[in-house]
């Protein structure tokens, strides 16, 4: 019979490029469910992110400062290996729509095959955030749309700075 560990450590992995209010909602809820929550940015060389891993870590650290049991980190390689290294028992994942579920189910089953003692916990997105994705935020913002209420204010400010730098470079 498996016993609950004295302290439950969960990892909430993602790219967080940029962090959205949907991500922040899951972090807030996860911080209440687990003794320690590690928000972990995957270092993925195949993607062309808007923000560097270091910038995303800064943004995340800033917006989770009010949660004493939440820490920000990054990792390379397999998530299950990182989870073992951090002594995590749980992976936290968010589900926005049925399309998310299919992908997340496949990933969770593969992770279970690779590390059977690692559980995946799915939280349904808050209805107010169920349509928000980092990709969509970047697309709307890049086309001049308003993203207030979709990302934390400090992230919106960074997006504005990044966009103004990009426009200046394009004008040169």
List the catalytic residues.
23, 47, 96, 134
CB count in 10 Å sphere of residue 123? 15
Interatomic CA distance for residues 54 and 73, integer angstroms: 10
Residues whose CB is less than 8 angstroms from the CB of residue 139 and which lie 6 or more positions away in sequence, other chains included:
none
Q: Residue 50 has what DSSP assignment?
A: S
């Amino acid at each position: 019979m498996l016993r609950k560990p004295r302290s439950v450590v969960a990892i909430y992995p993602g790219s967080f490029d940029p962090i959205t209010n949907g991500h922040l909602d899951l972090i807030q809820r996860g911080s209440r469910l687990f003794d320690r929550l590690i928000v972990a940015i995957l270092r993925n060389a195949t993607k062309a992110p808007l923000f560097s891993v270091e910038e995303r870590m800064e943004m995340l650290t800033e917006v989770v400062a009010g949660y004493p049991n939440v820490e920000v980190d990054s990792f390379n390689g397999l998530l299950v290996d990182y989870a073992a290294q951090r002594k995590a028992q749980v992976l936290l994942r968010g589900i926005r729509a049925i399309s998310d579920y299919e992908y997340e189910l496949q990933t969770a089953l593969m992770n279970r095959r690779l590390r059977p003692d690692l559980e995946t916990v799915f939280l349904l997105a808050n209805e107010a955030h169920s349509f928000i994705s980092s990709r969509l935020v970047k697309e709307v913002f890049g086309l001049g749309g308003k993203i207030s209420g979709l990302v934390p204010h400090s992230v919106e400010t960074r997006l504005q700075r990044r966009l103004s730098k990009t426009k200046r470079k394009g004008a040169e």
